[in-house]
């Protein structure tokens, strides 16, 4: 009886702890006949890349130093020089997008002053431009204030698209003694 209990326990132990696999084979076969049409693959000519058209946004048609009373301010730029602030109204804006990825932004300020920026648009999905940046991101190539080139410590410009092809421009230029900051937009 003792041997029977050991035999049953051993059999149960083996059955519980072992894997059992079974395979059922059914006789017969299935035949599927499908006729496919002949497919010809051609290497088409690559689509011609049409360069985007050059777009110039001109927002005000008077002369640069106009005293036009019908014009409205497009925004303002503040020049902080050695602790003193001077705020200029932006009276005219010109944004020129060239085909080679260069964007030129010119802000005409009251009193005949002007700021000019040359931007390199490497990534069209990024609207931010930085001075002294790597070649894989959008860069500020050149900056001028009244035809005098600026070489700041750091500078950032954001050229944010708005409705109907217009832009909002936010800038922050920091130099050792002179700072420019402001916001202006085309309408």
Structure confidence at residue 6 (pLDDT): 87
Structure confidence at residue 22 (pLDDT): 54
Sign, CA torsion 19/25/29/30: negative
- What is the span of the domain harbouring residue 91? 55-62+71-185
Give a yes or no: residue 91 inside a domain. yes
* 146: alpha, beta or left? (left if phi > 0; alpha if psi -120 to 50): left
Structure confidence at residue 60 (pLDDT): 46
Give a yes or no: residue 46 inside a domain. no
Give a yes or no: residue 165 inside a domain. yes
Structure confidence at residue 69 (pLDDT): 44
Structure confidence at residue 179 (pLDDT): 84
Q: If you search the block for the tokens 């017969």, which residue do you land on?
A: 28
The CA-atom distances, in angstroms, between 30 and each of 25, 27, 33, 36, 46 are 14, 10, 10, 19, 45
Burial class (CB in 10 A: 0-12, 13-18, 19+), 44: exposed
**How do residues 87-140 score in pLDDT, each as one tens digit?**
888 888 888 888 888 999 999 988 888 999 999 888 888 889 998 777 778 899
* 82: alpha, beta or left? (left if phi > 0; alpha if psi -120 to 50): left
Give a yes or no: residue 170 inside a domain. yes
Report, as ranges of residue numbers, the positions in the chain whose pLDDT lies below 70.
15, 18-72, 187
Give a yes or no: residue 175 inside a domain. yes
Query: How many separate domains does the chain show?
Result: 1
For β-strands 102-109 and 139-145, DSSP reports them as unpaired
Q: Which long-range contacts (CB under 8 A, 24 or more apart) does 43-47 make?
A: none
The CA-atom distances, in angstroms, between 144 and each of 23, 49, 180 are 83, 34, 12
Structure confidence at residue 117 (pLDDT): 92
Structure confidence at residue 11 (pLDDT): 80
Give a yes or no: residue 27 inside a domain. no
Q: If you search the block for the tokens 């001075």, which residue do you land on?
A: 131
Give a yes or no: residue 45 inside a domain. no
């Amino acid at each position: 009886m003792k041997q029977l209990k050991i035999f049953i326990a051993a059999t149960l132990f083996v059955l519980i702890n072992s894997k059992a696999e079974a395979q059922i084979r059914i006789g017969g076969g299935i035949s599927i006949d499908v006729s496919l049409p002949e497919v010809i693959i051609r290497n088409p000519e690559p689509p011609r890349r049409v360069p985007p058209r050059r777009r110039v946004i001109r927002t005000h048609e008077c002369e640069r130093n106009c005293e036009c009373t019908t014009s409205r301010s497009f925004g303002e730029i503040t020049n902080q020089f050695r602790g003193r602030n001077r705020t200029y109204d932006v009276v005219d804006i010109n944004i020129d997008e060239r085909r080679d990825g260069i964007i030129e932004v010119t802000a005409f300020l009251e009193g005949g002053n002007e700021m000019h920026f040359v931007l390199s648009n490497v990534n069209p999905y990024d609207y931010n431009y930085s001075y002294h940046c790597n070649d894989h991101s959008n860069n500020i190539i050149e900056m001028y204030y009244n035809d005098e080139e600026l070489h700041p410590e750091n500078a950032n410009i954001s050229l944010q698209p708005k409705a109907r092809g217009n832009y909002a421009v936010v800038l922050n230029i920091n130099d050792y003694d002179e700072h420019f900051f402001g916001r202006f937009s085309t309408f």
